Amino acid sequence: MNGAQALIRTLVDAGVDVCFANPGTSEMHFVAALDDVPGMRGVLTLFEGVATGAADGWARMTGRPAATLLHLGPGLGNGLANLHNARRGRTPVVNVVGDHARSHKRLDAPLESDVDSLAGTVSGWVRRTLAPEDVGADAADAVAAAGRGQVATLVLPADVSWSDGAAVAGPPPPWSRPVPPQHRVDEVAAVLASGEPVVLLLGGDVLAGEDGQLAASAVAGATGVRLLAETFPARWVRGAGLPDIGKLPYPPEVAMKSLAGTRHLVLAGAVPPVHFFGYPGVPGTPVPADCSVHVLSEPGEDGVAALRALAELAAPGAAPQPVEASRPELPAGRLTPRAVSAVVGALLPERAVVVDEAITSGVGIAELTSGAPRHDWLSLTGGAIGDGLPMAVGAAVACPDRPVLVLQADGSAMYTLQALWTMAREQLDVTVVLYDNGSYAILQGELARVGATGGGERAGQLLDIGGPALDFVALATGTGVPATRAETVEELADQLRTAFREPGPHLVQAVLRPAG
Amino acid sequence: MNGAQALIRTLVDAGVDVCFANPGTSEMHFVAALDDVPGMRGVLTLFEGVATGAADGWARMTGRPAATLLHLGPGLGNGLANLHNARRGRTPVVNVVGDHARSHKRLDAPLESDVDSLAGTVSGWVRRTLAPEDVGADAADAVAAAGRGQVATLVLPADVSWSDGAAVAGPPPPWSRPVPPQHRVDEVAAVLASGEPVVLLLGGDVLAGEDGQLAASAVAGATGVRLLAETFPARWVRGAGLPDIGKLPYPPEVAMKSLAGTRHLVLAGAVPPVHFFGYPGVPGTPVPADCSVHVLSEPGEDGVAALRALAELAAPGAAPQPVEASRPELPAGRLTPRAVSAVVGALLPERAVVVDEAITSGVGIAELTSGAPRHDWLSLTGGAIGDGLPMAVGAAVACPDRPVLVLQADGSAMYTLQALWTMAREQLDVTVVLYDNGSYAILQGELARVGATGGGERAGQLLDIGGPALDFVALATGTGVPATRAETVEELADQLRTAFREPGPHLVQAVLRPAG
């Protein structure tokens, strides 16, 4: 058995049974071995950022790592931004990065680079397999490391792949999140009893399922603690029947207002909030200076168990307060960001997976979908734009029986547009709402927010992507994805209904700017 | 004066007067400062790989570094592959990578990452500016470091940009390549006089101009030494009036055959050749085991001076042997890779800049253009695909009075297709021949070459990009670039004539696969 075969069999035995791949010469034996190991599904992408973002989306929906197959340092580099998002979302990913054969490494061939250092910038675990007999065990270790909620990168020399003498390793032992100690629960219960204003900030595993949210809601009903969700949850199960939880807002001034007066901030699966960027004269965090921070559970721990324990102690017998099913009325006329949100709220299918890279265009979207049928919401965890379309690929591969809806801003869509081709190739049931505002709108706000003077013509040109206007209908069609253009609410609603009804991918370009 | 203003003024004073930019929040003061410093031209790209590839192309044509403006670690990551190519081609580049404000760095915000380590994997020089008063001097040092033929990365905290107290630094002192010592010239002259088979391998600065090639040709005429060019020259001035120099071939078996029997390999501006990849049972280099390698000049040295000295010593009074002007006849009928090469040879405009990312489709292209009007040829130096379209952006910005022709394979085109939009926005005179063979054709060859068994259906699917077929006419049109489709030689010739005649960008999709 050669190294590639042992690697793939080990991965499959450990539950890693899909590989988002962008192979090159050094990965040819891995590719060939796919024919020997039918349990592994290879999904081709046309750019590594699609492969890594798809792995992110797949793992968010399955809870298990997917593999990526990347070509040397430059391939890993192309995939780095979405690995950053995975790292920030604590998503498990197993990267297999092909490298030169061991004898070739010292020759400094054109594609030679420091793969290991590069991998270290996004990975919680990095190993270079040194011999074919190690590859099985190394792969099992990679899966184990990824399972802790991190990116694991296995660097695989080409000759380790092609050499015989490798063996399959058994799957790593099962692992589950540690339960936070009882004294933290006691401390938080005391805080809740203090009568002072408390915010309970939910994140990570708590938002990814129902039970933690329901327990938190029961606590809130009994104690008056205010619930907030972290700003960019990796996965958020929400909709009718679950509590209506507001998000901590992104803009620093709004986030500070949201937490003003809070005396105690309790974290359940979330990290202490900080602003996305530093701004002149603004504190780095929205947490008031006189607010104490209490950790009920850290992101890697079992926050659901901690919230259940808290509910037992601080709100015995209390019931959660679920939101009733409701949908906004369809508006009419011109498309605005809020009108798009209302259309989404009105039409969101049952059991949808929503991938949210709407950036500035998602006005009111949380509120307008809070009573929609139960759905999952995936956010841009690390701020590295270009995760939306790739994550949708991964989510759709993970959940072939569920509709995937991508809320996609135009500027960030252009980062990884190649994902559309994989949607067409695999006939994934993905609907893309492409918000076309013709600009890096967020940066126009940020330019003002950082207090940059000027904002003159030359600066403005670097924030304007409307000249020439991007025709996303043509771009999508060019990759094999059927696409339409909507300029009114009625057109958008009609086109979305069609997209939701028909199998396979669709893109709707929602034109938000005034006709020129 | 704030840090951003001092930085830009220092760069402009040092001759770095174009910046390929993909800014985010942390770069807003740099963007605003563009309105204060009219000498700097900001060129917006929609993806960082376009910015870095454009900087590569610009510097290859001007000999001076361009700046890039990138957004934190993920932005640098997206630009990494083409920085790898720049590094491998010894192209000077100055990256300005915005980072969090100094006070924000320790807060571990979502976009936080190890920018410095990441930069180190591709840069010969990395520095983080620690205070506004340092930024001018740091920028001048970056330009000086880049000028040695390397990537220099300056990490710029947002508050260093926005704070006052910065000062412009003067340009770095002029620098020129060191002349190799005379004893090397003497050694090579003795080798030439030995009567044994000698190959003189030219690369780097020698191919980038005329004088070194002419001196080498004179030596070849007088001594019988065989001239070869390195496989992937960063810039190669060629065409009628210059010597006809063959390239060392890419496929290992062909490269070994080309050098078989060579007893002495003399390097002028080139590094010792190695195969692109290691293969089972194949030596890592095409240089025969009994061949001695002699260095006349290393890549950073003045190879032209060394060749002039060699010509004086070994071939006094000898004349070079230039190739006469000649063009292939236009073929007819069905498009094949070789037919496309003949059309290019027949129609190549005067003073063209050819950007070559044809990969497997460039069959016969060197031979069929060797007598064409004088032109520059830019190759994929580091093997990280996706450099073709971005380099064309940079070359066209650098040489607005010259036509740019890109020979672009389809698989690699999809890596950085966003470059087309910048071509349209800046109305660059670029013609793209898009070779549409519907596959990663090179990998089909590599799968066999590495001896991978299988090649079954599932492996084949990972090398096939034809399902669905990419419609590059739609893709180009969607970015604002006029595009046409050619299925015969006659159509290709007509469409290229139009593209060369009209200003602004054009794309021609040359369909190479049999109609399905």
**What DSSP string runs through B305-370?**
HHHHHHHHHHSTTPPP-BPPP--PPP--SB--HHHHHHHHHHHPPTT-EEEEE-GGG-TTHHHHHT
pLDDT at A455 over 80: no
> Bridge partners of B266?
B200, B294
Chain B residue closest to A108 (CA)?
A: B274
- Quickly tell me which residue has 């252009």 as its tokens: A414
Is residue A516 very low, low, confident or very high in pLDDT (cuts 50, 70, 90)? very low
Q: Kindly list the residues from chain A whose CB atom is less than 8 angstroms away from the CB atom of residue B108.
A: 271, 274
Residue A441: the pLDDT is: 80
Average pLDDT over residues B364-388: 97
pLDDT at A64 over 70: yes
pLDDT at A247 over 60: yes
Q: In what order do the strands lie in the sheet with B226-229?
A: B246-247, B226-229, B198-202, B264-268, B292-297
Q: Which two tokens stand for residue B335?
A: 């498009």
pLDDT digits (tens, 9 = 90+) for B168-185: 999 999 999 999 999 999
Average pLDDT over residues B90-112: 97
Nearest chain A Cα distance for residue B147, angstroms: 21
- Compute the distance between CA of residue A174 and CA of residue B285 in angstroms, rounded to an integer: 47
- Torsion angle, CA of B353/B356/B358/B361, rounded to 10 degrees? 70
Cβ of A285 within 8 Å of Cβ of B107? The answer is yes
Chain B residue closest to A46 (CA)?
A: B414
Cβ-contact B48, B70 below 8 angstroms: yes
Q: Kindly list the residues from chain A whose CB atom is less than 8 angstroms away from the CB atom of residue B276.
A: 25, 109-111
pLDDT digits (tens, 9 = 90+) for B204-223: 999 999 999 999 999 999 99
> Is B468 an 8 Å CB contact of chain A?
yes
Residues near B234 by beta carbon (within 8 Å), at least 6 away in sequence: B60, B89, B90, B91, B204, B208, B378, B379, B381
> Bridge partners of B170?
none
Cβ-contact B393, B419 below 8 angstroms: yes
> Bridge partners of A93?
A66, A151
Q: Kindly list the residues from chain A whose CB atom is less than 8 angstroms away from the CB atom of residue B442.
A: 25
Find the CB nearest B42 among A232, A381, A462: A462
pLDDT digits (tens, 9 = 90+) for B432-456: 999 998 878 878 788 887 777 656 8
- The CA–CA distances, whole Å, from A364 to A201, A247, A310 equal 20, 11, 32
Q: Kindly list the residues from chain A whose CB atom is less than 8 angstroms away from the CB atom of residue B478.
A: 470-475, 478
Question: What percent of chain B is modeled with pLDDT above 90?
Answer: 91
* Diameter of chain A measured on Cα atoms: 70
Cβ of A454 within 8 Å of Cβ of B36? The answer is yes
Closest C-alpha to A434, from A412, A404, A466 = A412
Average pLDDT over residues A252-269: 98
Other beta carbons within 10 angstroms of residue B175's beta carbon come to: 9
> Is B281 an 8 Å CB contact of chain A?
no
Residue A26 in 3-state DSSP?
Answer: helix
Q: Considering chain A, what is the average pLDDT of its residues?
A: 96
Residue B330: the pLDDT is: 95
Host H or E run for residue A226: strand A226-229
> Is A381 an 8 Å CB contact of chain B?
yes
Find the CB nearest B278 among A75, A104, A421: A104
Residue A453: the pLDDT is: 63
- Compute the distance between CA of residue B423 and CA of residue B410 in angstroms, rounded to an integer: 18
> Is A90 an 8 Å CB contact of chain B?
no
- Compute the distance between CA of residue A18 and CA of residue A12 in angstroms, rounded to an integer: 8
Q: Which amino acid is at B78?
A: N
Find the CB nearest B35 among A31, A113, A457: A457
Residue A508: the pLDDT is: 98
Residue B455: the pLDDT is: 61
Residue B465: the pLDDT is: 84
pLDDT digits (tens, 9 = 90+) for A152-184: 999 999 999 999 999 999 999 999 999 999 999
Other beta carbons within 10 angstroms of residue A114's beta carbon come to: 13
Q: In what order do the strands lie in the sheet with A236-238?
A: A236-238, A375-379, A353-357, A404-409, A430-436, A506-511, A483-486
Q: Considering chain B, what is the average pLDDT of its residues?
A: 96
Closest C-alpha to A18, from A382, A351, A393 = A393
Cβ-contact B277, A104 below 8 angstroms: yes
Residue A336: the pLDDT is: 94
Helix A72-88 with B72-88: angle, nearest 10 deg: 180
pLDDT at B495 over 50: yes
Q: Which segments of chain A belong to CATH 3.40.50.1220?
A: 182-314
> Is B271 an 8 Å CB contact of chain A?
yes
Residue B513: the pLDDT is: 67
Cβ of A275 within 8 Å of Cβ of B109? The answer is yes
> Is A212 an 8 Å CB contact of chain B?
no
Host H or E run for residue B88: helix B72-88
Cβ of A34 within 8 Å of Cβ of B459? The answer is yes
DSSP states of B126-154 as a string? EEE--SGGGHHHHHHHHHHHHHTTSEEEE
Residue A71 in 3-state DSSP?
Answer: strand
Backbone CA torsion sign across B141, B144, B148, B150: positive
pLDDT digits (tens, 9 = 90+) for A273-328: 999 999 999 999 999 999 999 999 999 999 999 999 999 999 999 999 999 999 99
pLDDT digits (tens, 9 = 90+) for B307-318: 999 999 999 999
Other beta carbons within 10 angstroms of residue B302's beta carbon come to: 19
pLDDT at B285 over 60: yes
Q: Which segments of chain A belong to CATH 3.40.50.970?
A: 3-162, 337-511
Nearest chain B Cα distance for residue A289, angstroms: 15
Q: Kindly list the residues from chain A whose CB atom is less than 8 angstroms away from the CB atom of residue B446.
A: 24-25, 28
> Is B104 an 8 Å CB contact of chain A?
yes
pLDDT digits (tens, 9 = 90+) for A479-495: 999 999 999 999 999 99
Q: Kindly list the residues from chain B whose CB atom is less than 8 angstroms away from the CB atom of residue A477.
A: 471, 474
pLDDT digits (tens, 9 = 90+) for A208-222: 999 999 999 999 999
Is residue A43 very low, low, confident or very high in pLDDT (cuts 50, 70, 90)? very high
Closest C-alpha to A28, from B141, B453, B355, B435 = B453
Half-sphere exposure of A488 (CA within 13 A, CB side): 5
Average pLDDT over residues A448-454: 72
Residue A459: the pLDDT is: 86
Residue B446: the pLDDT is: 80
Chain B residue closest to A83 (CA)?
A: B74
Closest C-alpha to A333, from A441, A472, A473, A493 = A493
Q: Domain B182-314: which CATH class?
A: alpha beta
Nearest chain A Cα distance for residue B445, angstroms: 9
Residue B374 in 3-state DSSP?
Answer: coil
Cβ of A475 within 8 Å of Cβ of B473? The answer is no
Average pLDDT over residues A341-346: 98
| C-alpha A110, offset from chain centre | 34
Chain B residue closest to A29 (CA)?
A: B452
A window 227-246, beta carbon within 8 A of B: 232
- Best to test chain A binding among B8, B56, B104 (most A CBs inside 10 Å): B104
Q: Which of A58-62, A356-360, A439-443 has the highest mean pLDDT?
A: A58-62
Cβ-contact A469, A410 below 8 angstroms: no
- Compute the distance between CA of residue A191 and CA of residue A262 in angstroms, rounded to an integer: 12
Residues near A335 by beta carbon (within 8 Å), at least 6 away in sequence: A486, A487, A488, A489, A492, A510, A511, A512
Residue A40: the pLDDT is: 97
**DSSP character at residue B36:** T
Cβ of B101 within 8 Å of Cβ of A276? The answer is no
Cβ of A35 within 8 Å of Cβ of B459? The answer is yes
> Is A60 an 8 Å CB contact of chain B?
no
Question: What percent of chain A is modeled with pLDDT above 90?
Answer: 91
Cβ-contact A175, A160 below 8 angstroms: no
- Best to test chain B binding among A31, A43, A122, A359 (most B CBs inside 10 Å): A31
For B251, list phi and psi in degrees, rounded to 5. -65, 130
- Compute the distance between CA of residue A334 and CA of residue A318 in angstroms, rounded to an integer: 45
- Strands A375-379, A41-44: parallel, antiparallel or unpaired by DSSP? unpaired
Q: Kindly list the residues from chain B whose CB atom is less than 8 angstroms away from the CB atom of residue A425.
A: 467-468
Average pLDDT over residues B85-104: 97
Nearest chain B Cα distance for residue A447, angstroms: 6
Residue B19 in 3-state DSSP?
Answer: strand
- Compute the distance between CA of residue B264 and CA of residue B288 in angstroms, rounded to an integer: 9
Cβ of B28 within 8 Å of Cβ of A88? The answer is no
Backbone CA torsion sign across A481, B52, B429, B494: negative
Find the CB nearest B425 among A118, A120, A467: A467
- Best to test chain A binding among B82, B91, B428, B450 (most A CBs inside 10 Å): B450
Q: Which CATH superfamily is domain B337-511 in?
A: Thiamin diphosphate (ThDP)-binding fold, Pyr/PP domains (3.40.50.970)
Residue B246 in 3-state DSSP?
Answer: strand
Nearest chain B Cα distance for residue A120, angstroms: 9
Nearest chain B Cα distance for residue A171, angstroms: 25
Nearest chain A Cα distance for residue B364, angstroms: 23
Cβ of A111 within 8 Å of Cβ of B443? The answer is no
**DSSP character at residue A334:** B
Q: Which two tokens stand for residue A324?
A: 């009733």
Chain B residue closest to A159 (CA)?
A: B280
Residue B516: the pLDDT is: 42
Q: Which CATH superfamily is domain B3-162 in?
A: Thiamin diphosphate (ThDP)-binding fold, Pyr/PP domains (3.40.50.970)
